[in-house]
Structure 1
Amino acid sequence: MSSSNPFMNNTPNTSPLKNYDGSNKRIGKRPLLNASNSSSQLTSPFRRQRNSGSVIYNDRFIPTRTEIDLNTIVSLSNTVKIIPDDPSNSEDQVEIQKKRLAHETFDAVLKNELFGEKLSRDITGTESSIDKIKNTKPTLSHSRYKKENSSSDEIETDVDEDQDGNLDLNGNPIDLPHVPNTPPDSLHRSDSLPTGSPVTPRRLFAKQIDEHYKPTSNSVRGASLLTYRERTSTRPSTTSILQSQFYSSSPVRPDSRQLLLSPAKKFRQIAKVPYRVLDAPSLADDFYYDLIDWSSTDMLAVALGKSIFLTDNSNGDVIHLCDTKDEYTSLSWVGAGSHLAVGQGNGLMEIYDVVKKKCIRTLSGHTDRVSCLSWNNNILSSGSRDRRILHRDVRIADPFFAQIETHTQEVCGLKWNVEENKLASGGNDNIVCVYDGTSVTPTLTFREHTAAVKAIGWSPHKRGILATGGGTADRRLKIWNVNTAMKLNDADTGSQVCNLIWSKNTDEIVTSHGYSKYNLTLWNYPTLEPIAILKGHSFRVLHLTLSADGTTVVSGAGDETLRYWKLFEKPKPKAQPESLIFGAFNQIR
């Protein structure tokens, strides 16, 4: 063989031919069996002998199919959950819920088509995808079931001829896709059939579809577009035509088809942009202040520095109420909306008659700033940095009639539950206390928060349900049942909870946040899943209030703006009985 052969010169170095040097000596440790038979040596190199102590690796993996099949069935029986890692970081929670619902529907249909009644219930004990299919109402109406022979378990299903919507263009009934040979009330009864290998649905042959639309002409060649069809007495509706075509060509099981045709869940659309933004110059950026409140007469009160302004939301008028030499630190409307109580930095409290625009009373008792106020009919309670809570009856001359010294640091959260006559307080000492009436000794004390508790709210829908939110070091939203002294739920908000309010119209909670997200979050109760995250403020959202009709939330922040958010709908008016006598009679019955 010539050395000038280009194929030999371009042979890679790993080729056995290049393992020879100029002296015709083989480079390597492999012995030659026969020098004359070099071609066979080049095409089939020798295998190295394995040492007796070496490990022999096998390149084939033969799985245990029984184990794999069991693991596959168990994994498929579990419902797929599409949940983000941190729900509080997701901006559009409605889209996440839509995706979750779409994945669950696809997962249920896919498992039902692949496994059908053979799919066992998942090991977690929760409702499986097949149970969801089972709970849907079948589209077929069956009149009777009969066994074809005693030796077979197959049952024939006869379909009624008066099915709604299952007619062709001539008004004749259409045979629907073949249903697995089991009665509909036991389609997915796992105890009636042995569990084992998966079951696949039977194929839908094209012949069955063609028979439904066979032309009346004798010739079946070519297109049937111009063929004559007999006129029926009643013209079928477009809906019935579409349904008949869909039913006749649908390759999925009837129960899966019913799930796909069932009405989709409607999601509430929430506006992510405030419909109104007002400038609020000198709005204090202090975590312990509470400077906005909405009255029952649709009047919004705002404390800006050393002045208080009222905004009439019915006509948009802005009224200047009063000024002070010190600084306003808190304010709260009485239930009737006729008087406004304000707290100052020097510890004094004032009560203003809004109609007369005049201070009618000044109350003393605190030695430091008044951080929070709350009304219970004629009782006005106040919390201060002097670590005390004072109860005042505005009908008597004394400035206060009871004082509470439970907290060891500033009292920054205070909220009355008027219906149950309970008071909840939160302090900078991370403690939440619950009192019966004006008792000075708390009946309950919660110590799970690890930061100051300013955000406090009572549920207007269920008795004894209290929501509390912690500060920067805690960032948790907690739900308590004060009647049983139990914590119901706990969620990490991911940011400092500055304030919260409970919706009047829906069982939902709105929280405002500080460090470091500066947003508002709408939570579902009792799951505490975030429904919507509202962004717009550039500083801590410290102040929060709810409109009289319960539809609008107003937030105030250190960026010196007030933002109006339309979050809830007005409650539907309840039907009143035509007669009080008949109404009482129906209640007795």
Structure 2
Amino acid sequence: MSEEMRNPFISNTPSSSPAKSRVQSGNRITKRDTSSSSSLTSVNSSPLRRPRSSNGGYTDRFLPNRTNMDLKSVISIGSSQLPRLVPSDSDNHLEVRREQEAHETFDAVLKNELFGEKLCEASNENEDSIERIKYTATFPYREPSTPPRSQEASGRDALLSPSPSSPATPRRLTFENHSKPSSSSMRGASLLTYCEKKASRPSAASLLQSQYSSSASPVRPDSKKLLLSPSKKVRQISKIPFRVLDAPSLADDFYYDLVDWSSADMLAVALGKSIFLTNNNTNEVAQLAKTDDDYTSLSWVGAGSHLAVGQANGLVKIFDVEKKRCIRTIPGHIDRVACLSWNNHILTSGSRDRRILHRDVRTPEPCFEEIRTHKQEVCGLKWNVDENQLASGGNDNVVFVYDGTSRKPILTLAEHTAAVKAMAWSPHRRGVLATGGGTADKRLKIWNVRTSTKLHDVDTASQVCNMIWSRNTNEIITSHGYSKYNLTLWDGVNAEPIAILKGHSFRVLHMTLSADGTTIVSGAGDETLRYWKLFDKPRPQAHAASALLSTFNQLR
């Protein structure tokens, strides 16, 4: 880049000295009268005008301003974009976002101060130009419709008579006890001002206050508005769990799902051949059941009164939590039950025998529908209760979506290259499903089931073992195995990572969400349960009273 491009304030005057610009005739110097000399001196002293001499002479007094700049410099600097910061695995992505926003704000204010009049497109956009510059990070420049006659003439014409397409310039700022610019055609704030010497020097606080509160602020009105606007509250996420519990004999098996939190604020954990219940309010721990076979999966019914348990021998048991006893044993599978999911009174189970069974717990029959679509073990099941749709993932790397309890799937997703256990339906957008692949895949994919399109595809750099979509915020939390052993918080809109939580030393296979939607409990092969406070409680929404209902109440 040339020196002119690096410094747009460099004058275009030639290097010849003022003595060479004098008009010589032989050995005599032509003399001018005093009146004309004084008038020329006043013209030459203006920082915006240059004398027009027939021999091409230039004055050595040229002060830079915002409008008389090189066209190439404006385009080069104005269209430059900030480099995107890429955080490492150990960095907090929120801090990186905060730093990126600070860079964008500074860049927007700087470019607006230097090129604000040239970078705006229309006069009605003058007030909102700084916001547009900040959030788009691009500064479009449109050349004038008529080609300029020359750089000097175009700059002078732009100063004396601005074109209708250029934005209206803020009124010329007046400075108290400052010498006014010598030309009345100055636009905006002057870059060079002089202050008279005062008897007492004001304090720094008073100077800063007067700078932003006075109408004679040296920055543009839109820049001042941005600088004085209240900053957005930054969310704080703790990377340290606020509670850690020992979980001896917690299975380190990818196909098991041994932790679940009920709507009644009761946490169920299967440790080896026993099931324990933890009351989150009283912190009391009670043993619910014990068996000779290993427990492989847990799932609470929506009301939180009953717990469905899958075993390694293929049986499914339903426990009454209040009575603390098994009220029903349902056969059907011939191998371990790896996943369970409820849809009101329908309990759906998936097994290593490659079958999906739908059971109506109100009837005595073991099942009323059997699905054989997967070619290997069914390791993931998620009901979308609001839309009555079921998603199943298998060890055959395929995800199927069913409409209700129908046998034939309405959608087949076969882009993963490893087992799909982690799945989650979006509670904020209808028909949106997130899936995560195993060790050979390591990808997080978000689908729109209604349109059969893929919205996002992100490489997580680690095995995706489990997944939860937050109800309070549009965010996804994923747990990982080989080889990161961490939890990652993702933005549900653009699938960008927000924070990485570390603490486990083995694969984070089990994960559940609290009843209020604020706390995540993760379980790993290191035989610990860790409580993470990641989300805030939802704000109560005031529902508008129906006019028809209010009229009906008045009639009653």
Q: TM-score w.r.t. structure 1 length?
A: 0.70
The structural deviation recorded for 1:580 is 7.4
Number of the residue aligned with 2:304: 337
Q: 1:281 to 1:584 in 2, by over 3 A?
A: farther
Question: Residue type matched to 1:131 in 2?
Answer: R
CA distance in 2, matches of 1:309, 1:421: 31
Pick from 161, 167, 171 the counterpart of residue 153 of structure 1. 161
Q: Is the 8 A contact 1:542 1:557 kept in 2?
A: yes
Number of the residue aligned with 1:81: 83
CA distance in 2, matches of 1:437, 1:258: 54
Number of the residue aligned with 1:483: 450
Q: Is the 8 A contact 1:82 1:99 kept in 2?
A: no
The structural deviation recorded for 1:88 is 6.4
The structural deviation recorded for 1:241 is 8.0
Q: Is the 8 A contact 1:112 1:130 kept in 2?
A: no
Deviation string 1:183-207 (CA, Å, 9 cap, x unpaired) is 9xxxxxxxxxxxxxxxxx6324123
Number of the residue aligned with 1:381: 348
Number of the residue aligned with 1:96: 96
Number of the residue aligned with 2:474: 507
Number of the residue aligned with 1:321: 288
1:540 paired with 2:540, answer no
- What residue ranges of structure 1 are gaps of 5+ in the alignment? 1-67, 122-126, 136-148, 184-200, 211-219, 227-237
The structural deviation recorded for 1:509 is 0.4
1:528 paired with 2:504, answer no
Q: Secondary structure at the match of 2:111?
A: helix
Which stretch shifts more, 253-262 or 439-448? 253-262
Q: Is the 8 A contact 2:104 2:134 kept in 1?
A: no
CA distance in 2, matches of 1:269, 1:115: 36
Deviation string 1:269-290 (CA, Å, 9 cap, x unpaired) is 0111111100000000000000
1:111-510 maps to which residues of 2 (within 5 A)? 111-119=111-119, 131-132=132-133, 152-153=160-161, 202-207=190-195, 210=196, 223-224=199-200, 243-246=209-212, 250-510=217-477
The structural deviation recorded for 1:260 is 1.9
CA distance in 2, matches of 1:179, 1:103: 36
CA distance in 2, matches of 1:461, 1:518: 28
Q: TM-score w.r.t. structure 2 length?
A: 0.74
CA distance in 2, matches of 1:300, 1:447: 34
Q: Is the 8 A contact 2:254 2:509 kept in 1?
A: yes
The structural deviation recorded for 1:224 is 3.5
Q: 1:158 to 1:488 in 2, by over 3 A?
A: closer
Q: What is the RMSD of the two structures over their aligned residues, measured on CA atoms?
A: 3.6
Deviation string 1:87-129 (CA, Å, 9 cap, x unpaired) is 56242111101110111111112222232222488xxxxx997
Q: Secondary structure at the match of 2:231?
A: coil
CA distance in 2, matches of 1:280, 1:570: 28
Question: Residue type matched to 1:91 in 2?
Answer: D
Q: Is the 8 A contact 1:79 1:129 kept in 2?
A: no
Which stretch shifts more, 374-383 or 104-113? 104-113
Q: Secondary structure at the match of 1:89?
A: coil
Deviation string 1:498-517 (CA, Å, 9 cap, x unpaired) is 00001010000000000000
CA distance in 2, matches of 1:280, 1:156: 68
Number of the residue aligned with 1:62: none
Which stretch shifts more, 416-425 or 112-121? 112-121
Q: 1:225 to 1:329 in 2, by over 3 A?
A: closer
The structural deviation recorded for 1:342 is 0.3
The structural deviation recorded for 1:133 is 6.2
CA distance in 2, matches of 1:491, 1:400: 38
Q: Secondary structure at the match of 1:386?
A: coil
CA distance in 1, matches of 2:285, 2:131: 60
Deviation string 1:431-458 (CA, Å, 9 cap, x unpaired) is 0000000001000000111110000000
CA distance in 1, matches of 2:184, 2:209: 17
Q: Is the 8 A contact 2:275 2:287 kept in 1?
A: yes
Q: 1:150 to 1:347 in 2, by over 3 A?
A: closer
CA distance in 1, matches of 2:395, 2:337: 14
Q: Is the 8 A contact 2:354 2:374 kept in 1?
A: yes
The structural deviation recorded for 1:134 is 11
Q: Is the 8 A contact 2:489 2:498 kept in 1?
A: yes
CA distance in 2, matches of 1:536, 1:95: 20
Q: 1:92 to 1:584 in 2, by over 3 A?
A: farther
Q: 1:363 to 1:254 in 2, by over 3 A?
A: same
Question: Residue type matched to 2:418 in 1?
Answer: A
Q: 1:501 to 1:402 in 2, by over 3 A?
A: same
CA distance in 1, matches of 2:259, 2:93: 28
CA distance in 2, matches of 1:319, 1:464: 39
Q: Is the 8 A contact 1:279 1:562 kept in 2?
A: yes
1:13-28 maps to which residues of 2 (within 5 A)? none
Q: 1:445 to 1:75 in 2, by over 3 A?
A: farther
Q: 1:427 to 1:584 in 2, by over 3 A?
A: farther
Which stretch shifts more, 412-421 or 112-121? 112-121
- What residue ranges of structure 2 are gaps of 5+ in the alignment? 1-69, 122-127, 137-156, 163-167
CA distance in 1, matches of 2:97, 2:494: 14
Deviation string 1:371-390 (CA, Å, 9 cap, x unpaired) is 00000001000000011100
The structural deviation recorded for 1:223 is 2.2
The structural deviation recorded for 1:581 is 5.6
Q: Secondary structure at the match of 1:487?
A: strand
CA distance in 2, matches of 1:446, 1:578: 43
- Count of paired positions: 450
Tell me the percent identity. Answer: 65
CA distance in 1, matches of 2:546, 2:397: 53
Number of the residue aligned with 1:17: none
Q: Is the 8 A contact 1:334 1:341 kept in 2?
A: yes
Number of the residue aligned with 1:60: none
Q: 1:128 to 1:469 in 2, by over 3 A?
A: farther
CA distance in 2, matches of 1:402, 1:179: 87
CA distance in 2, matches of 1:518, 1:108: 40
Question: Residue type matched to 2:368 in 1?
Answer: F
Q: Secondary structure at the match of 1:548?
A: coil
